[in-house]
């Protein structure tokens, strides 16, 4: 395994380019199973999760080529309906093959998903959705097994205990494209990644309306075809570098980003004292010349503050002036990074679903361990502002969502290197 060694403190300056969205690309890759035609998907990030999805597709005898951020997928005559544990156990988004397999083959066997350890993430809404469409589903020997004689449109409420579910919305929407009749998804997720998936499906010939709202209507069609599509920029990667710029009191222009996807983050950073300028299409300049002030943050479904930026904003607040409260409403147990940030000198306590942060004047380098993807990024931000050397182990989590973070940070002025443990 690799680890990152970061010498702080650093001040980030310059420009960084954002890759395509991992969370948009993965469901779109799964959606190609709905057609026999060739699809070309551009702006796909070079990440381990993408390669895992490629392995899953190839296990169905789907032809896949990947070069320079361009995926060519030809599922013509593919076989197999089992997504194996060895792939799905490493990445929760693998569950997105459920809807397409069920719609096309009327049979799907998908290992219960894994991924980051951030608390319970049940698949009950996925099961509820496909059952409403006419499938029989059961969990047996660690696999979700679903069968149908033919899917039929239905009205489905997908609200869960912590709001709408992005992946359940994606699965039901994909399955409904080939169902007989109309499907209405109530309390659907509205994240930009859902909109991007819907736009790809429409290019394939699907009839979808309301994908930017909490009520999505899908009129089933008999057949879909391949399509060309460019994946949206990764709003979480962009947000991570914006937070890092603020933490280091830097001046960074984030290129190839969509500010309209990050309204809640922009609002909170400005509230804390940062200066943010939308320079031109896809370029956002972030400046922070002094220590920022504490703010309160609550994670919520889009357009609320994203749970995938909660750890990063906590790292920023660790050295902000005053006391901040960060409340996690999506995954209430997503706080494993607190202990590691405290090892670096942060003063964070946990009370239920809220973290109380007393901003410290400085952090100190330490040996820390990444527990999940976004925690890895948060520890990196902490290391950039800490005095001395920080070693972050288990960074294979980081590689699931950030391409060459050490290279991008180095270009911005960080002293960072990757070494073998």
Nearest residue to 283 via CA among 254, 263, 261: 254
DSSP state of 97: G
Give the list of residues 6+ apart from residue 294 with CB closer than 8 angstroms, or none: 272, 317, 320, 321, 322, 323, 324, 357, 359
DSSP per residue, 169-189: HHHHHHHHTTSBSEEEEET--
- Find out whether 363 and 379 touch, Cβ atoms under 8 Å: no
- Separation between Cα atoms, residue 140 and residue 99, nearest integer Å: 18
- Find out whether 59 and 84 touch, Cβ atoms under 8 Å: yes
- Separation between Cα atoms, residue 228 and residue 38, nearest integer Å: 9
Give the list of residues 6+ apart from residue 354 with CB closer than 8 angstroms, or none: 325, 326, 327, 328
Cis amide bond preceding 9, omega within 30: yes
CA distances from 124 to 127, 137, 168 (A): 5, 11, 9
Following CA atoms 62, 34, 128, 198 in sequence, which dihedral angle do they give, to the nearest 10 degrees?
120
Choose the catalytic residue: 116, 224, 311, 386: 116
Burial call 148-184: b when 16+ CB within 10 Å, e when fewer: beebbbbebebebebbbbbbbbbbbbbbbbbbeeebb
DSSP state of 95: G
Active site residue 246: no
Residues designated catalytic: 116
């Amino acid at each position: 395994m690799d680890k990152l060694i970061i010498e702080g403190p650093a001040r980030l300056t310059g420009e960084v380019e954002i890759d395509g969205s991992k969370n948009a690309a993965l469901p779109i890759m799964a959606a190609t199973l709905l057609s026999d035609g060739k699809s070309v998907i551009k702006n796909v990030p070079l990440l381990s999760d993408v390669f895992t999805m490629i392995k899953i597709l190839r296990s169905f005898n789907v032809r896949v080529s990947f070069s320079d951020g361009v995926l060519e997928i030809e599922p013509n005559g593919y076989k197999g309906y089992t997504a194996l544990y060895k792939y799905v156990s490493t990445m929760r988004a693998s569950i997105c093959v459920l809807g397409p397999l069920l719609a096309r083959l009327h049979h799907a066997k998908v290992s219960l998903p894994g991924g980051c350890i951030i608390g319970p993430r049940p698949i009950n809404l996925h099961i509820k959705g496909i059952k409403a469409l006419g499938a029989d589903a059961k969990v047996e020997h660690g696999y979700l097994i679903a069968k149908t004689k033919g899917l039929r449109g239905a009205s489905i409420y997908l609200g869960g205990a912590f709001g709408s579910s992005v992946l359940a919305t994606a699965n039901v929407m994909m399955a409904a494209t080939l169902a007989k009749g109309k499907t209405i998804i109530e309390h659907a997720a509205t994240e930009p990644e859902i909109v991007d998936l819907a736009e790809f499906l429409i290019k394939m010939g699907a009839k979808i309306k309301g994908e930017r709202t909490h009520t999505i209507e899908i009129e089933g069609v008999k057949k879909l075809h391949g399509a060309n599509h460019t994946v949206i920029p990764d709003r979480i990667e962009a947000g991570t570098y914006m937070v890092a710029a603020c933490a280091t009191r830097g001046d960074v222009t984030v290129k190839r980003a969509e500010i309209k996807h990050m309204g809640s983050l922009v609002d909170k950073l400005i509230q804390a004292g940062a200066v943010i300028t939308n320079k031109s299409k896809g370029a956002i300049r972030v400046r922070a010349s002094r220590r920022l002030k504490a703010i309160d943050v609550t994670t919520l479904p889009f357009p609320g503050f994203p749970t995938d930026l909660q750890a990063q904003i906590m790292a920023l607040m660790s050295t902000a002036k005053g006391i901040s409260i960060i409340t996690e409403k999506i995954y209430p147990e997503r706080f494993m990074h607190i202990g590691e940030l405290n090892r670096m000198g942060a003063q964070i306590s946990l009370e239920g679903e809220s973290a109380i942060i007393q901003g410290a004047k400085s952090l100190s380098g330490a040996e820390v361990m990444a527990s999940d993807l976004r925690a890895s990024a948060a520890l990196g931000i902490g290391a950039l502002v800490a005095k001395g050397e920080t070693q972050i182990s288990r960074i294979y989590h980081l590689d699931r969502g950030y391409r060459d973070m050490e290279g991008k940070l180095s270009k911005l002025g960080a002293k960072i290197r990757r070494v073998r443990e």
